[in-house]
Structure 1
Amino acid sequence: MSEKLIKILTEKGPIKKIGVIGMGYVGIPAAALFADAPCFDHVLGFQRASSSSGYKIDMLNKGESPLKGEEPGLEGLLQNVVKAGKFTCTSDFSRISELDAVTLAIQTPFEDPKSLLPDFTALIEGIQNVGKNLRKGMLVVLESTITPGTTVGMAREILEKESGLVAGEDFALAHAPERVMVGRLLQNIREHDRIVGGIDDVCTRRAAELYTPVLTKGKIIPMTATAAEVTKTAENTFRDLQIAAVNQLALYCEAMGINVYDVRAGIASLKGEGITRAILYPGAGVGGHCLTKDTYHLERGVTLGIEPLDYPENAESIYVLARRVNDFMPKHMFNLTVKALERVGKKPKGIKIAMLGWAFLNDSDDARNPPSETYRDMVLQAGCEINVQDPHVVHYPGIDIHANIDKVLTGADVVVIFTGHKQYFELTPEQIKQKMGKKQPVIIDGRNVVDPDKFINAGFVYKGIGRGDKNSHSLK
């Protein structure tokens, strides 16, 4: 425990001015909630004025959210804090020097999962910007999901090098990982418990002071910085493992000719004292920024550990294997497409496909690492033509995405559903078949959106994830 830092923080007093670096799905709602808290005076949101994302600055300063899709309460909250003069977005990183606390919510993708090399380029730049403008008594919090050991290692080293100050003596340093899901960002920040891990107890307490005012139902769970890093990577790894388990079960059910949703309901029905059967839903693949790479952060943390790993010899990590299963699901969707076409005597080459859904998450515009992209690449390589429709995703690099569903359905041989947007549940077989104009149209359902019997009775060739009871149906 540093008596020097305690003295500095006591003289500085409570946290009043906050900075949030990274105006994305994590940074925007966090900044808005900090700004809305009466105990804080002002919040600065930091966003690079780049050609790809600089537009966010003007939007946010007008109280407009650049996040699309359904995000309850966010735009109204932004309007309120901007109108009250408590939130400003800027590209001037020198203003970090004005602050009492700064958080970093910057994406941390993986450059090469096989060699466990993360791409920390953007995060390092953000930490350097903080270090150059760091002042005594400031609190620096990494919210990004990072390899265990990053806070006490790389982040600390960069901050100390750039500032000439010492973490734990001149300034506080902590990791407090975000735990949000698109579609309920504000609710998650307020109601989820907040993991807070400082590099020492003084830093942990200062970070807890920052987050406590924005919590409603949630509580602070203090721990070390490295334990906090493991907590975040492990909770996403476990969810990925759960998804892989039900995806593998779905593949088994297809092979055995049964319905995975019957099996799932049966498993989930077992309840009682000490009994938990947390079974999720199968689907066309896992996307997003977190689950697709957090396993690799956890695995890399082990390689950087202080003790050698004691594990079954030559055994593959069950977490990495789970990643492989989930990465396989778009390929399985492709395999289902090929098999469905074979049933009507067709091959992929020259086939026109209508893809419904590009975002990885239903009713959102979050299209980071979507499994739909893997499928699209495969069908294009097979010689198909594919048109993509999504009601929420407007732009994606190199992809034309249509808002008009009729446009992509017209003349299509195959409809493939990759996202469970609520609009797709309202589609009828008659409506789709009329637009397709095919005697035996094909539909591939990756999210259990359509009623198989209705589509089969309407003359469709149907294939669905885990629907072994329907995938070999008689042709009408």
Structure 2
Amino acid sequence: SSGYKIEMLNNGISPLKGEEPGLEDLIKKVRSDGKFESTSDFSKIRDLDAVTLAIQTPFKDKGELEPDFGALEEGIRQIGKYLNEGILVVLESTITPGTTKNFAADILKEESGLIPGEDFALAHAPERVMVGRLIRNIREHDRIVGGINKESTDRAVELYTPVLTRGKIIAMDSTAAEVTKTAENTFRDLQIAAINELALYCEAMRINVYDVRTGIDSLKGDGITRAILYPGAGVGGHCLTKDTYHLERGVKISGSTLDYPADSPSLYVLARKINDLMPQHMYNLTNEGLTSIGKKFNGSKIALLGWAFINNSDDTRNTPSEPYLDMLEKDGARVTIHDPYVSQDGSLKISQDLEESIKGADAIVIFTGHKQYLNVKASAIKKLSGHKHPVIIDGRNVIDPEAFIKEGFVYKGIGRGDKNYHEICNK
């Protein structure tokens, strides 16, 4: 289904619709210089000195810690069929700790008849990029590299060193590299969960979480690291939504005893559940807003702004907007979806006409912090809605609450306990 991307790449065109500074120019340059070719022909592996593999690794069942390695296994098998002695194989996918040494090594040996670590090198070098910063992240971030033995690590270091302009190579064992990647994403998820729960506390205490955040972040000095992030409508993407479970599974399949109470929930899994709760909280805020103007979800029009999981991108993987949409539709709401970067997601049609999406809406709900939403005018939005007291829900802190409250809106925002209980202005 993504074969069209091969043709686009070979024509020097980026298949990504979101904003990726430098990517389009780089693709054009390496194509014109004859240094880049895109293909689906795995047999060309026979001509290579190194092959890297980056394939999604979702979970079938997070509760049972059962991953879906179907696509990863197929990719590894295809590589194994065409391996030559001396080649370097690198897994860049985020994977359960132990996967490179065991799962991948076993499949490659089975398909090729070659011995991993002896006849060919095998390593893990997890990608560490964020949407919207691909080129910069690849060049400037430190690169974690771990082989199944010293020879494999050395080969991988040799491969990645020329790519970096500012970052450095950090070499380690392949399992340590796998833990590093899953743990850094798990820790980021934990940080987000901490501020999301704090935002809920601030709403309950009728104070502004952003004031509190500023205060916490002001404490600086030697040995002081707060690294406090921002609350939001939910966490999406391919990585943070499942890497906690890869880390948990790594411990489970290691066969070793974990000195932690068996009946106590993992801190990391609790954090994951808090972040998964945020679309439900957005639903609750929307319900409160509609109730305050005497309306219910059934029959109300909701303008959902933002389908991509991250701002200024077309990446919709595991978007938190989806569970929110499901809740609205279950309750009989009429929903229009707008996203300036996404026109379709599967069978779901998404509008790129903001005015048309908002027209007649009882509630406008901002789920993604796209730059196009930063300067929306309260008066213009109210006129388009056609209602005296439309509801606006801000899940990313992109609008000025006071400007909308003064225009007669019912405002609700994540962490904005100082504004969520305002009197309705009869303008």
Short-chain TM bin: over 0.9
**Structure-1 separation of matches of 2:27 and 2:343:** 22
DSSP 3-state at the match of 2:225: coil
Q: How does 1:426-441 map to 2 (within 5 A)?
A: 426-441=375-390
The letter of the residue matching 1:384 is A
Equivalent residue, structure 1, for 2:103: 154
Residue in structure 2 matching 1:410, options 359, 363, 367: 359
1:133 aligns with 2:82: yes
**Structure-1 separation of matches of 2:274 and 2:348:** 26
Equivalent residue, structure 2, for 1:331: 280
1:398 to partner: Cα distance? 2.3
Give per-residue Cα distances to partners, 1:414-440, cap 9 Å, x unaligned: 000000001101100011111110011
Equivalent residue, structure 1, for 2:339: 390
The letter of the residue matching 1:91 is S
**Structure-2 separation of matches of 1:312 and 1:474:** 48
1:75 aligns with 2:28: no
The letter of the residue matching 2:16 is L
Give per-residue Cα distances to partners, 1:54-88, cap 9 Å, x unaligned: 10011000110001111010000100000111111
Residue in structure 1 matching 2:264, options 315, 333, 341: 315
Specify whether residues 91 and 261 from structure 1 end up closer, same or farther in structure 2 by C-alpha distance, changes over 3 A only. same
Equivalent residue, structure 2, for 1:169: 118
The letter of the residue matching 1:471 is N
> What are structure 2's unaligned runs of at least 5 residues?
none
Equivalent residue, structure 2, for 1:277: 226
**Structure-1 separation of matches of 2:255 and 2:322:** 39
Equivalent residue, structure 2, for 1:365: 314
Identity %: 68
| Deviation beyond 6 Å, 4+ runs, structure 1 | none
Equivalent residue, structure 2, for 1:59: 8
The letter of the residue matching 1:232 is K
1:346 aligns with 2:298: no
DSSP 3-state at the match of 1:449: coil
The letter of the residue matching 2:313 is S
Give per-residue Cα distances to partners, 1:125-171, cap 9 Å, x unaligned: 10000000000000000000000000001100000000000001100
Equivalent residue, structure 1, for 2:191: 242
The letter of the residue matching 1:381 is K
**Structure-2 separation of matches of 1:173 and 1:93:** 18
Equivalent residue, structure 2, for 1:40: none
Q: Say what the alpha-carbon RMSD is for the aligned residues.
A: 0.6
1:312 to partner: Cα distance? 2.6
DSSP 3-state at the match of 1:325: helix
**Structure-2 separation of matches of 1:220 and 1:395:** 39
**Structure-2 separation of matches of 1:451 and 1:331:** 23
**Structure-2 separation of matches of 1:213 and 1:277:** 34
1:313 to partner: Cα distance? 4.2
Equivalent residue, structure 1, for 2:73: 124
1:301 aligns with 2:244: no
Superposition TM-score, scaled by structure 2 size: 0.99
**Structure-1 separation of matches of 2:337 and 2:173:** 45
DSSP 3-state at the match of 1:89: coil
DSSP 3-state at the match of 1:102: strand
DSSP 3-state at the match of 2:2: coil
1:376 to partner: Cα distance? 0.3
Which is further off, 337-346 or 227-236?
337-346
**Structure-2 separation of matches of 1:410 and 1:384:** 15
Residue in structure 2 matching 1:261, options 202, 210, 227: 210
1:394 to partner: Cα distance? 2.4
> What are structure 1's unaligned runs of at least 5 residues?
1-51
Equivalent residue, structure 2, for 1:29: none
Equivalent residue, structure 2, for 1:203: 152
**Structure-2 separation of matches of 1:371 and 1:108:** 19
The letter of the residue matching 1:301 is G
Give per-residue Cα distances to partners, 1:233-280, cap 9 Å, x unaligned: 000000000000000000000000000000000000001111111110
The letter of the residue matching 2:194 is A
The letter of the residue matching 2:192 is I
Q: How does 1:447-462 map to 2 (within 5 A)?
A: 447-462=396-411
1:184 to partner: Cα distance? 0.7
